Each structure stands twice: as C-alpha cells, then as structure tokens.
Amino acid sequence: MNTNIETLNNWNLKNSDRPIIIAGPCSAESEEQVIDTGDKLHAIGVGIFRAGIWKPRTRPGCFEGVGSVGLEWMNIVKKRTGMLLTTEVANVKHVYEALKAGIDILWIGARTTASPFAVQEIAEALKGVNIPVMVKNPVNPDIDLWYGAIERLHNSGITKIAGLHRGFSGLSKSKYRNDPHWQLPIKLRQQIKNIPILCDPSHIAGNRELIPSISQKAMDLNYAGLMIESHNNPDKALSDAKQQLTPKQLNNLLKNLIIRDKKAKNTKAQESLEELRVKIDEFDDVILEALSNRMEISKKIGNVKKENNINIIQANRWNNILKDAMEKAKENGLSEKFVSNFYESVHQESINLQNDVLNNS
C-alpha cells in the first residue's frame, strides 16, 4: 500500500510520549462506574479513556452494552479529566452516534475487521471525517484481512490509522485467550509504512495475571502503546471480568514497565551492539549459503529417486535425522522446539523441491 498514513506524532494526542496508554472498562455499565473509573485512571496519568458502548458478543444473551447513553457518561469523564475518548464502532449507526457525541478516536473490533462488508460501510460513513481509527486484528490469523480493513479506511481518506493487536483465536489450547502470534503484527508493520501498532494485552491474555508480561513484550517489540481494560470493580464487571485490572493494579504495571530505547544512549553500548549485529549478519549469510547448498543436494536426491522410481518420503530416515538433531540441540544449548520447527521447515522445503523434480522436469 502506498500510504500517507501519519505517525502518532501527528495525532495530536495528550501524553503522546511512547507508550500511549489507553485504559478503561470493557463496557460502560453505569454512570457511576464510568465516572469513578475515569477519575481513577486520570489520577494515574492515563491520557485516553476507552469504554465499549455496543458490545459485539459472540453469543446472544450476554451483556450487549448500554448503548448511546454511555456516550453521555464518557463525555462527563472528558469534562472532568480532559482525557480523550475512544470507543468501538461496528456499523454506520455507531459511527454517527460516536461522531455526534464527540468521541476522539474510534476503533474497529476484531469481529468487524473480519467482515469486509462491515468495514467498507464504516469506511464510507467516515468519508470527509479524518478521525483517528484503530483497527484491531481480525479474530482469525489472516493478516490480509487486517491489511484489507486498513486499506478500505485509507481509501476513504483516513490517514490517522493504527493497528491494534488483540491476539488471534485458534483451535489449539493455549495459555492465552487469543494467541498473540507476534510475527503477524510485525509483518503488518513491515508492510505499511509509518503504521503505529498498539497492543491490547487484556484480550490476548483473557486473565489478569498475564497482562504485565504481555505488555512488557509489546514494549520490547517497540509497540507505540497499550490499550488495557481497567474497571473500578473488575470482579463485578458485566463483560470480560477476568481480564480487567483495577486502576491501582494498572498503575503498578505501568510503574514496572521497562521502556527500552531504539538506540543505546551511550555510544560504547551502541558500538558494541553494532559489532554484534555485524557478526549476526555474517552468521545469517553462512546459514543461507548452507541452506542453498543443502537444497541443491535435495534436488540431486530427487533426480536419483525419479530415475529409480523411489518414494519421496522415507519416514525412517527422517525420524533418525530428527532424533539425532534433538540430541545435538541439547548438547549445543538450543531449544528442542526451535530446532524441531527449523528441521520440519527444511524438510518440507526438501519435499517440495523433490516433488517438483519428480513431477515437473
């Protein structure tokens, strides 16, 4: 995408130093809850207040949000504290209501990002209104859908767009509610120039305990900010009770967050980093050359198999290679998971190449 997406510096946010902190309840529930939470978050220095007004629940019958009256409560928070406001919009009606209420930043939820029709309608409703929009990743790990939603908004003239990483759902059981798949947001950032990425540790974690370590990881990966669910009484929350922090817990998290610089401040450290990077680059070259040589041999094996009509897959041999590799991994202090993933990938490429030899040449 040839974009003119603006960096966060142009968003005119208060407290815009990295990391941008957005916090507030999963859902606005009552005037008292919204105001009390807002006051407490302001007191710990949060600059942007979030609250869900219309809740896209996976199943009917769950709490589906208080609706537009919640926008009035959010505005009371803004008047009392000066915090900027953000909420989720999932259709054109939400867009009109949120704009009318003076919401400062919109976000598109994970279920909506997965639906190109819905995103297109929202993008069209936003034509001529260059309001900042954060786009959550889709529920499924499909980076093209995420990219496509951003593209639709951008085509409507929105230039203040951020990716909001909330993890991806999958079939396999994991310690996360939504698996982070950290490589996907990194890929998005490589594909779209300037796009800021924020992390939503609450929806990745699904529980309070994991929120701090996910937040730290996002900072280590140079994310622009965090959106964390915070409620004045999380245990009584009507939605996502387990993954909301009290403002006090959030304050603790923020105080312990280590923000690393892009570059080392001291020149000696910077020099030694650069020296180490040169060494890494050299090793990467050696690995690539070795891989290329290895694949050439795979092709030769493919030719021998073709001439002699032998199967590509030789399960015994593969099992022995893997077993051997696991032992060597241990001896060399490498993680077995890493080495087995690497070998699986090399093996798959070998099979593909031999398949080409057997069938196409």
Interacting residues with ligand PEP (CB under 6 A): 26, 52, 56, 109-111, 136, 166, 203
Within 8 A by CB and 6+ apart from 272, the residues are: none
User: To which H or E segment does residue 86 belong?
Assistant: strand 84-88
Distance (Å, whole) CA 97 – CA 119: 17
Q: Which residues of 42-69 are buried (b: 16+ CB within 10 A; e: fewer)?
A: bebebbbbbbbbbbeeeeeeeeebbeee
Q: Which is nearer to Mn ion, 86 or 350 (CB)?
A: 86
Alpha-carbon distance 318 to 141, whole Å?
30
Q: Which does 166 bind (CB under 5 to 8 A by kind): ligand PEP, Mn ion, none?
A: ligand PEP
Are residues 356 and 303 in contact, defined by beta-carbon separation less than 8 angstroms?
Answer: no
Identity of the residue, 6 or 240, whose beta carbon is nearer to Mn ion in the bound complex: 240
Neighbours of 345 (CB within 10 A): 10
Q: How many residues at the interface with Mn ion, by CB under 5 A? A: 2
- Please give the residue whose beta carbon sits closest to ligand PEP in the complex: 109
Which of Mn ion, ligand PEP, none lies near 110, with the C-beta cut-off 5 to 8 A by kind?
ligand PEP
Say which entry of ligand PEP, Mn ion, none residue 148 contacts (CB below 5 to 8 A, set by partner kind).
none
Q: Which of 164, 141, 30, 4 is nearest to 86 (CA)?
A: 164
Smaller CB separation from Mn ion, 177 or 181: 177
- Say how far apart CA 97 and CA 107 lie, in whole Å: 14
Give least dist CB 43 to ligand PEP, A: 23
Q: How far is the CB of 55 from ligand PEP (least distance, A)?
A: 6
Nearer CB in complex with Mn ion: 154/231: 231
Scan residues 203-242 and list those touching Mn ion (CB under 5 A): 240
Letter string b/e over residues 124-155, b meaning 16 or more CB atoms within 10 A of that residue's CB: ebbeeeeebbbbbbbbebebebbbbbbbbbbe
Q: Which is nearer to Mn ion, 185 or 234 (CB)?
A: 234
**Residue 208 site contact among ligand PEP, Mn ion, none (CB < 5 to 8 Å, cut-off depends on kind):** none
In the region spanning residues 3 to 32, those forming contacts with Mn ion, defined by CB under 5 A, are: 26
In the complex, least distance from residue 166 CB atom to ligand PEP, rounded to whole angstroms: 4
- By a kind-dependent CB cut-off of 5 to 8 A, residue 94 interacts, out of Mn ion, ligand PEP, none, with none
- Grouping H, G, I as helix, E, B as strand and the rest as coil, residue 272 is helix
Smallest distance, Å, CB 290 to ligand PEP?
Answer: 42
Least distance (Å) between residue 38 CB and ligand PEP: 16
Q: How far is the CB of 337 from Mn ion (least distance, A)?
A: 31
Q: Which helix (H) or strand (E) holds 164?
A: strand 161-165
The smaller minimum CB distance to Mn ion, of residues 97 and 240, is found at 240
Give the per-residue contact string, 271-310, with Mn ion (x = CB under 5 A; - = no): ----------------------------------------
Smaller CB distance to Mn ion: residue 13 or 228?
A: 228
C-beta closer to ligand PEP: residue 230 or 350: 230
**Partner residues linked to 197 by β-bridges:** 163
Q: Supply 349's token pair.
A: 């490429």
- Distance in Å, CB of 216 to ligand PEP, minimum: 20
Least separation, in Å, of the C-beta of 243 and Mn ion? 7
Whole-number Å distance between alpha carbons of 17 and 225: 9
Toward ligand PEP, which CB reaches closer, 185 or 302?
A: 185
Which of 154, 87, 93 has the alpha carbon at shortest distance from 118? 93
Pairing of strands 105-108, 133-136: parallel
Least distance between Mn ion and beta carbon 131 (Å) = 22
**Binding residues for Mn ion (CB under 5 A):** 26, 240
